Structure 1
Amino acid sequence: MFRKTLLATALAATVPASLANETPSDQPIVMEETVVVGVRQRLYERGALLDAIQKTEVVDESLIKSLQAVNLTDAIEKSPGVRVSNECSMCGVKRIMLNGMRGEHSTILTDGVPLHTMMAGYYAVDALATTGVSRIEVARGAGASLLAPEAIGGTINVISKEVEETGLNINASMEDNDSYFLGMMGGYVSDDERTRTSLVIQDDKHHQMDNDDNGVSEAPLQENTSYVVRLSHDLGERDNVVLRTAYTDSSIFGGPQGYSIGSVLQGYDGVESDHLFVNDDVRQQYIGKPWETTEWISTTRSEISSSWLHEFSESYNTLFTVAWSEHKQDSFYEGFDYTATDTLNYFDLRNNLILNDQHMLTFGVDLRDESMRSDSVAGEESDNYIEDSFDYQTTGLYIQDTWTVSPDLEVALAIRVDNAKADFVAEQKPGTEIDETVVAPRIDLRYLHDDQWTSRVALGRGYRAPLSFFETDHGILDAGDGFAIEIENLEKSLSATYALSFEGERLNSTLSLAFTEVDNLAALSETEDGVPLLTQMQESASVGAADITLGYALTENLSIGGTLETYDYDDVFRESFAIAPVEQRALFNLDYKADYWMLYASATWVGSRDLDEFGYEGFNQLGDSTLKSTSADAYWTIDLKLTFDVTENLSLYLGGNNLTDYTQVEEGESPLFWDASGAYDVAYIYGPLRGREYYLGFDWNL
């Protein structure tokens, strides 16, 4: 038993960290086997895990294609307990929320390695390509990863696809309004099968959308290009090395229709217009200068990582990982410029040791060193401006004992000890703001009631250093007034989850319950002078989440599934949200396969919300005391994809997203508004901002 657990844990940085409990067909699914090669293949064949203690949802490659998901957010937004929140109508920034937590509480891993910087979790999340991805694992709850204690909400682990044979895959589609997607993956396997390498290229574009025809887009133009090169080589019978490098270039342009960032910057004069809209009404035609409603963000992300797996004996192996990433941003927010470079260095040495038939130890040390430097010409003109540059270092020791109490009961006991230092380096912020040693324990338990019923329990602590205005709110737009920072403590959380799973011949289901409490929760406030202030809540904040997922095979060719979710936020948590989160959601899907045809359809229902509870207040017309509606009605969206296999290697497909064509702009309120002080803002958001879209494409293996 322990040899199985040992080898699965040893490869956590390059294969799934945990193999999930059963979930219904066509929902994020269980992956009970892992394709590995060479040395890693031999280790797995000696006994791979049949299941894992921790509850994990997995979105595999086939589901990614069924969803026509070209990026990470598209791929997981319909997973249980996952919500992708659109935080801005101009820049379209996405946040990935797990178990009702905020976006900054989710940690993105690449092959088990925390390569994403603080800033990378904000912009370009939806530029993370799905071409070359084998699957995406979503583990919810604090302590979800030994390597990511800051993942208070959980982790999203993006697993690279292993090359099995030399060949080339091309997946391409055209959408309406000049949008497109092109993904290519080429793979090479040497004759002795010791060397396997792959090259991935993805290029995609999403057009601007102005549903109310007022001259200002509600969804921005986004252009993404990604390159990934990955090499796996067996040095001998006991050693394997994996090298990976990636580069992503993303450009977002939102605001005025019919302009480019070049023409906008060329026309920038710093003189504000007397009126932005006809009759000062955001629902009427925009008449201001283009730069006054332009948001442009250019992002590049470079990554290099390497891992070396060495097997000392059948009971002991080591995985050594080194990684580097750099996230660069150049941006323009309605007259305010902002540039930043965020660099991360990461080191991990992990050991896996079988003590006996009941106990296996996983222990190691990891180091994280992150440095972010920002600059703003416009910001420095304000006496209140404090740059948000920071240095952040953590040094951690961890140990986990995986204990097989009996054939039906397995327990994992883990503890991390970390020293975390966070220092805002601006001259106005002398000293080190945070220097703490944190002890973060966790326990995961799996109990097999019988052949069909399984219970999983998890309890864990996590911590996080709140370091960026971007994480907390879209407060960068008010940066002309300056910045102020009042951060002195780590956010600390306690999370408890329970999952009960049933696996039958036709029916699969999982009931999940979760509760998370966070101390020192970061929030965006303002000083007495109206300067944006990055501060922390004085009271603890908590959220409870519950969901049930069902899947049923009606016939050999037809299966259906569904998920019901509900979230309960306390008043402190509600106050911290910039955008109202979903409180109730239902997901339904249908998967039909027959001969050469495949039909995949999904429907999403989001329940109504009272926006007053999340602090929404705004006006459509300047000077008019009539408030925008704070009643967000329930709505439906439907997606559909039809695929036809022309040959064994060539498929044609067509489909559409949001076929109900529901947007909050046409059915409710514009995201544009005037606040109580008379300032123009763009984030009165509670529903979809992109309407119906169609696509036509092909998937070809050469």
Structure 2
Amino acid sequence: MTKIALPLLLLFSICSMAQVQNDTIKKEKEPEELEEVKVQSTRTSRTIRNTPTRIETIDAEELDEKGNMKPGNVSMVLHESTGLQVQQTSATSGNASIRVQGLDGRYTQLLKDGYPNFGNFASGLSILEIPPLDLKQVEVIKGPASTLFGGGAIAGVVNFISKTPSEEGEYNFILNHSNIRQSNFGAYASERKGKFGYTVLGLLNLQKAYDVDNDDFSETPKSNNFTINPKIFYYPNETTTFMLGNSFTKASMTGGDMFVIAGSSNDLHTYFEKNETIRNTTVFEFDKIMAGKNSFKLKQSLSIFDRKINIPNYEFAGFNTNVFTDASYLWNTKKQTIIAGLNILYDNFEQKNISTLDSKSFTTGAYIQQTWDISENIKLENGLRIDNVSYSNPNFSKNQTFILPKVSALFKFNSKWSSRIGGGLGYKIPTIFTEQTETIQYQNVEALNNVKSEKSIGGTTDVNFRTNISEDFVFSINQMLFLTQINKPLILQNNGSSISFINAEKPIVSNGFETNVKFIFKEDLKFFVGYTFTDAKGKYLSGNQFLPLLPKNKLNMALIFEKEHNFKLGLEGFFTDKQYLYNGTQTSTFWEFGFMAEKTLWKNYSFFINFENFTDTRQSKYKPVVSGSHSNPTFDDIWTHTEGATINGGIKLKF
């Protein structure tokens, strides 16, 4: 741990406890009550205001706004959140991953309704294949979240929560088109009648290749993506729920030389990158509410991911199978909530035509978590997980056991001030599927050999203040500090004709802070400011130790004016600091701005238009993204927009 950040966390904890125990705190006028948001990621059915674990939520209203900007996937939802970074990993295919607090995407666990089906070979395309249309909210845990989620949740967890059927029914449709030649057609329907209910999502995304800088190479690939996701719910009585669902996605993306994409390749124009994927996930849930609001839940999923990558004279293809089972029981008493459970995770990757990079893992875990209402003002949450993991490939096999404690606390000083502090351990089993290997299509990557799992220790602490400046004016601020250290990190080394992974002797350390400020006037006018400072270093590096493609300072602002059921206007601005590339050079700083408008024409119809990045900030304005010949191009690391300004608009129907 760094010499500065750890004392700050300890000092903050001591001060927080001292302040809570201070009996001289005066009762102040109650500010306007926040809407009670229930979070699902802690599985305790508590509201966010009474949960010791620090969880940020993106609600349905904000999801609806971000869905206007990019209806096809959730990348825009996460791109504009403080402390999160959508990192594009390919100049031609548009693949991307999610970074939390500056750490590589493999350290963040992506979940859909609590199911971890988006890792390993599927990770590079995961956020491109999660549509926002059926989401109720998104929950983000920053920092270690090992107790309930196990390995991979080192930097944090992003859990996409789906809508469930109601007796009123819901029927939504969206049609969208953009100047970068993308069209989206989506529909979502749900309803409950008596003992049965259903939800169904259908989405078709069509994209033509787009070359904004006329260098003959695509900034967005030619692609088509189709998703169908039906779920059936059965309620035999008021305390029992069965759910069975299946999500199927098929996608094809071709980027590279525009002549090749158009079918006019020749001796000069030969380069392309093609991704073809099929993802199918079947889920089953059984939920039973017992006496005293105790409950039992069984979750089961089977996910398969079939992917083929083609570039000239090279193909990489594989089949990934993921099986997840989790059984848990929740006890509720007057002052305590205890959840205990067992889970099994099996992951198997088989490389097609050759078995060089085959790998598999089998994890069995047991966990328990206690949330204790010590008093009205102090709430403590502590947990423990024990995982046994076996992982292997043709070269070697290992078996490791991990003991993962976690603790967090919530202190309510008075009606305006509150604070959370938490920390824990984590781990990540070795994998060849990282952001760096994704950028080179896994060419010349050697199979893992005698490497160990990465282990982490980390924590966060924050202070939250909220008050009514006047009857109509609400102000809030949240200040958060974070620190994560990853020991024995898995890094790439160049062996000349090949590259391989080794465990570095010195750690990765990421620390910094986030500041979020909100001003709300009459619920109509809202102004948000978020600032992130991230100091993430690879201590194993000689010379410059800053992690690549990571801005040290980032600022995001949003101004929204809305008249409910009438219109909505939004203006956004983002500042991104300099970043180091993998070759050690430094990028420029940049600003980007966006504007959106939505008008409700009739009760159930609305029209929207969005000007994203209307200042046309893009990487090719600073330096060519593609260099070398057309037949043998090389691509720079991606550190900002490649497609430039985009304008999209469409209509939405809600019944």
Q: One fold, TM greater than 0.5?
A: yes
1:498 aligned residue (461, 478, 488): 461
2:452 aligned residue (481, 489, 501): 489
User: What is the CA–CA distance in structure 2 between the aligned matches of 1:186 and 1:158, rounded to whole Å?
Assistant: 18
User: What is the CA–CA distance in structure 2 between the aligned matches of 1:50 and 1:232, rounded to whole Å?
Assistant: 30
Task: Give the alignment's Cα RMSD to 1 decimal.
Answer: 2.7
User: What is the CA–CA distance in structure 2 between the aligned matches of 1:439 and 1:52, rounded to whole Å?
Assistant: 24
With over 3 angstroms needed to count, the CA separation of the structure-2 counterparts of 1:601 and 1:465, relative to structure 1, is same
With over 3 angstroms needed to count, the CA separation of the structure-2 counterparts of 1:30 and 1:203, relative to structure 1, is farther
* AA aligned opposite 2:209: Q
User: What is the CA–CA distance in structure 2 between the aligned matches of 1:30 and 1:243, rounded to whole Å?
Assistant: 34
* AA aligned opposite 2:391: A
User: What is the CA–CA distance in structure 1 between the aligned matches of 2:439 and 2:502, rounded to whole Å?
Assistant: 12
Q: Is 1:422 the counterpart of 2:426 in the alignment? A: no
2:626 aligned residue (672, 677, 682): 672
Structure 1 contact 484–531 (Cα < 8 Å) conserved? no
Q: Is 1:166 the counterpart of 2:169 in the alignment? A: yes
Partner of 1:685, secondary structure, is: coil
With over 3 angstroms needed to count, the CA separation of the structure-2 counterparts of 1:145 and 1:333, relative to structure 1, is farther
The number of equivalent residue pairs is 608
1:33 CA displacement: 3.6
Q: What pairs up with 1:224-373 in 2 under 5 angstroms? A: 224-260=225-261, 288-290=268-270, 293-314=271-292, 316-354=294-332, 356-373=333-350
* AA aligned opposite 2:372: W
* AA aligned opposite 1:605: F
Partner of 1:235, secondary structure, is: strand
1:304 CA displacement: 0.8
Q: Is 1:32 the counterpart of 2:36 in the alignment? A: yes
1:600 CA displacement: 1.5
1:262 CA displacement: 7.4
Q: Is 1:565 the counterpart of 2:529 in the alignment? A: no
User: What is the CA–CA distance in structure 1 between the aligned matches of 2:243 and 2:34, rounded to whole Å?
Assistant: 25
* AA aligned opposite 1:606: T
* AA aligned opposite 2:486: V
With over 3 angstroms needed to count, the CA separation of the structure-2 counterparts of 1:174 and 1:259, relative to structure 1, is same
Q: Counterpart of 1:435?
A: 399
* AA aligned opposite 2:455: K
Q: Counterpart of 2:129?
A: 127
Partner of 1:632, secondary structure, is: coil
With over 3 angstroms needed to count, the CA separation of the structure-2 counterparts of 1:553 and 1:49, relative to structure 1, is closer
1:470 CA displacement: 4.1
* AA aligned opposite 2:237: G
1:61 CA displacement: 2.2
Larger displacement relative to structure 2 (572-581 or 392-401) = 572-581
Structure 1 contact 670–684 (Cα < 8 Å) conserved? no
* AA aligned opposite 2:318: A
1:34 CA displacement: 4.8
1:606 aligned residue (554, 558, 576): 576
What are the superposed Cα offsets for residues 274-319 of structure 1, whole Å, 9 maximum, x if unpaired?
xxxxxxxxxxxxxx342xx311111111011111111232153211
2:610 aligned residue (655, 673, 685): 655
Q: Is 1:508 the counterpart of 2:490 in the alignment? A: no
1:644 CA displacement: 0.8
Q: Is 1:638 the counterpart of 2:616 in the alignment? A: no
Q: Is 1:178 the counterpart of 2:181 in the alignment? A: yes
User: What is the CA–CA distance in structure 1 between the aligned matches of 2:92 and 2:548, rounded to whole Å?
Assistant: 14
User: What is the CA–CA distance in structure 1 between the aligned matches of 2:376 and 2:205, rounded to whole Å?
Assistant: 49
Q: Counterpart of 2:217?
A: 216
Unaligned segments of structure 2, at least 5 residues? 1-32, 469-473
User: What is the CA–CA distance in structure 2 between the aligned matches of 1:155 and 1:398, rounded to whole Å?
Assistant: 17
1:555 CA displacement: 4.5
* AA aligned opposite 2:154: I
1:650 CA displacement: 0.7
User: What is the CA–CA distance in structure 2 between the aligned matches of 1:691 and 1:48, rounded to whole Å?
Assistant: 40
Structure 1 contact 469–524 (Cα < 8 Å) conserved? no
Q: Is 1:101 the counterpart of 2:103 in the alignment? A: yes
User: What is the CA–CA distance in structure 1 between the aligned matches of 2:147 and 2:632, rounded to whole Å?
Assistant: 43
* AA aligned opposite 1:685: I
1:697 aligned residue (643, 650, 653): 650
With over 3 angstroms needed to count, the CA separation of the structure-2 counterparts of 1:263 and 1:460, relative to structure 1, is farther
Q: TM-score, normalised by structure 1?
A: 0.82
Partner of 1:299, secondary structure, is: strand
1:485 CA displacement: 2.7
With over 3 angstroms needed to count, the CA separation of the structure-2 counterparts of 1:573 and 1:255, relative to structure 1, is farther
Larger displacement relative to structure 2 (91-100 or 115-124) = 115-124
Partner of 1:63, secondary structure, is: helix
Q: Provide runs of 4+ in structure 1 moved above 6 Å.
A: 261-264, 573-578
User: What is the CA–CA distance in structure 1 between the aligned matches of 2:633 and 2:34, rounded to whole Å?
Assistant: 47
Partner of 2:148, secondary structure, is: coil
Unaligned segments of structure 1, at least 5 residues? 1-28, 268-272, 274-287, 381-385, 618-629
1:541 CA displacement: 1.0
Q: Counterpart of 1:26?
A: none
1:343 CA displacement: 0.4
What are the superposed Cα offsets for residues 675-695 of structure 1, whole Å, 9 maximum, x if unpaired?
9xx985323322211211111
* AA aligned opposite 1:670: P
2:369 aligned residue (390, 400, 407): 400
Q: What pairs up with 1:5-24 in 2 under 5 angstroms? A: none
With over 3 angstroms needed to count, the CA separation of the structure-2 counterparts of 1:656 and 1:310, relative to structure 1, is same
* AA aligned opposite 2:409: L
User: What is the CA–CA distance in structure 1 between the aligned matches of 2:217 and 2:522, rounded to whole Å?
Assistant: 49
With over 3 angstroms needed to count, the CA separation of the structure-2 counterparts of 1:359 and 1:533, relative to structure 1, is same
Q: Is 1:550 the counterpart of 2:517 in the alignment? A: yes
1:237 CA displacement: 3.2
* AA aligned opposite 2:151: P
Q: Counterpart of 1:624?
A: none
User: What is the CA–CA distance in structure 2 between the aligned matches of 1:49 and 1:83, rounded to whole Å?
Assistant: 24
Q: Counterpart of 1:65?
A: 64
Partner of 1:570, secondary structure, is: strand
With over 3 angstroms needed to count, the CA separation of the structure-2 counterparts of 1:681 and 1:31, relative to structure 1, is farther
Q: Is 1:446 the counterpart of 2:410 in the alignment? A: yes
Q: Counterpart of 2:91?
A: 89
1:152 CA displacement: 0.7
Partner of 2:237, secondary structure, is: coil
Structure 1 contact 365–398 (Cα < 8 Å) conserved? yes
Structure 1 contact 487–536 (Cα < 8 Å) conserved? no
User: What is the CA–CA distance in structure 1 between the aligned matches of 2:626 and 2:546, rounded to whole Å?
Assistant: 18
Structure 1 contact 73–125 (Cα < 8 Å) conserved? yes
With over 3 angstroms needed to count, the CA separation of the structure-2 counterparts of 1:508 and 1:353, relative to structure 1, is same
* AA aligned opposite 1:659: F
User: What is the CA–CA distance in structure 1 between the aligned matches of 2:180 and 2:452, rounded to whole Å?
Assistant: 48
With over 3 angstroms needed to count, the CA separation of the structure-2 counterparts of 1:587 and 1:156, relative to structure 1, is same
Structure 2 contact 273–311 (Cα < 8 Å) conserved? yes
1:539 CA displacement: 1.1
* AA aligned opposite 1:239: T
User: What is the CA–CA distance in structure 2 between the aligned matches of 1:679 and 1:263, rounded to whole Å?
Assistant: 17
Structure 2 contact 445–498 (Cα < 8 Å) conserved? yes
Structure 2 contact 39–47 (Cα < 8 Å) conserved? no
Structure 2 contact 124–438 (Cα < 8 Å) conserved? no
Structure 1 contact 563–586 (Cα < 8 Å) conserved? yes
User: What is the CA–CA distance in structure 2 between the aligned matches of 1:183 and 1:573, rounded to whole Å?
Assistant: 47
Q: Report sequence identity in percent.
A: 17
With over 3 angstroms needed to count, the CA separation of the structure-2 counterparts of 1:398 and 1:387, relative to structure 1, is same
1:140 CA displacement: 0.8
1:674 CA displacement: 6.0
Q: TM-score, normalised by structure 2?
A: 0.87
With over 3 angstroms needed to count, the CA separation of the structure-2 counterparts of 1:300 and 1:578, relative to structure 1, is farther
* AA aligned opposite 1:330: K
Q: Is 1:374 the counterpart of 2:351 in the alignment? A: yes
1:263 CA displacement: 7.2
With over 3 angstroms needed to count, the CA separation of the structure-2 counterparts of 1:30 and 1:634, relative to structure 1, is farther
Partner of 1:340, secondary structure, is: strand
User: What is the CA–CA distance in structure 2 between the aligned matches of 1:577 and 1:680, rounded to whole Å?
Assistant: 28
User: What is the CA–CA distance in structure 2 between the aligned matches of 1:335 and 1:257, rounded to whole Å?
Assistant: 18
Structure 1 contact 30–58 (Cα < 8 Å) conserved? no
Structure 2 contact 337–370 (Cα < 8 Å) conserved? yes
